[in-house]
Structure 1
Amino acid sequence: MAQYSKIMIAVDLSEDSAEVATKASAIAGGDTSGLHLIHVIEPLSFAYGGDIPMDFSGIQDEIHQQATQQLTAFGNAHGIPAERQHIVLGRPEVEIHNAAQEIDADLIVVGSHGRYGLALLMGSTANGVLHGATCDVLAVRVGDHD
């Protein structure tokens, strides 16, 4: 197994995120000095495609503020300091690739729900991260394992 010195952990801040972080920490041998966290917030305009003539900026700011608080608590619980916690706005697969390149990560760890069929065709973050990554990617199976 390759030795990884900089590991980007992509989390959605759901309860499954702890499983992803635990796996990344195990790969790092318990040494958290090379671990980075990233959480990507998708703009509300992506979800609604501009179909609703509404100003989402206040709601988007609230989402960002809550995500920052959650990521800070999550990072502290896993021994990852604030300077290695990243919150960005955009498409998850694009922003995870960008952040991994920026820190020169040699591994991205992301959770995967093991979707198949139509759900996979509709796209998943893990699938998007896998395709186009310039480093190794580990998709950790989370959620229901049926």
Structure 2
Amino acid sequence: MNKVKKEKRMFAYKSILCATDFSQNCSQAFKRAAELARAYGAKLTLMHVVEYFPEQRSNEWIEREGEDPKDFEQRKAQEGLDKLAGQVDIDVDQEIRFTNQSAKHEIIRYADEHGIDLIVVASHGQHGILPEVGSTTHALTYRAPCDVLVVRATE
């Protein structure tokens, strides 16, 4: 009986998406995503999703008088993405998405529509009160159309 030898191949990621809410944990996840993108020669996209519910925003997100709320959100998000992207030495595409749905839904949709083959996220972001996996991260591990790397938060 001939044994068929299974060939082991390492999958080379070509398109990596890192979702961020600008928390410290997400910053660590982005640095890991950049390392992977550099190692694989992959395209790296950094994404922030604005779940547009102004009544749930903290004081730092309240728009300046006279500024359109969406313009304010766009400006603040772009500043955050620029700051993160400036911390690595590779090209980073930046994506800001506004949605009336959850961030997890928008991340999954974007990954599916753009052929993303790896999503990198922090174990939990700004809203993670308990040291468990956040709800967005949890949902992505079950519903994403590709691999998901969860970067554990370090203290």
Deviations 1:58-115 (A, max 9, x none): 334312211112212322332334xx21000122111111111222011100111397
Residue 20 of structure 1 aligns with which residue? 29
Aligned counterparts of 1:133 and 1:44: Cα–Cα separation in 2:
24
- Root-mean-square deviation (CA, aligned residues, Å) is 2.9
Match for residue 80 of structure 1?
91
State which of 78, 87, 94 in structure 1 corresponds to 2:105.
94
Counterpart CA distance in 1 for 2:41 and 2:77 is 21
Note closer, same or farther for the CA distance 1:16–1:27 as it changes in structure 2 (3 Å cut). Answer: same
Which secondary structure state, in structure 2, belongs to the residue aligned with residue 28 of structure 1? helix
Q: How far 1:25 moved relative to its partner? A: 2.2
Structure 1 CA distance for aligned equivalents of residues 77 and 41 of structure 2: 21
Aligned partner letter, 1:107: L
Structure 1 residues 46, 33: CA separation in 2 closer, same or farther (over 3 Å shift)?
A: farther
Which of the pair is proportionally richer in helix?
Answer: 1
Identity over aligned residues, as a percent?
A: 31
Q: TM-score, normalised by structure 2?
A: 0.70
TM-score normalized with structure 1 length: 0.73
Partner of residue 123, structure 2: 112
Cα separation, 2, equivalents of 1:15 and 1:95: 22
Task: Give the residue type in structure 2 aligned to 1:133.
Answer: A
1:136 maps to 2:116 = no
- Confirm or deny that 1:58 pairs with 2:68: yes
**SS across alignment from 1:16:** helix
Structure 2: where are the runs of 5+ without partners?
A: 1-9, 58-66
**Is the partner of 2:143 in helix, strand or coil?**
coil
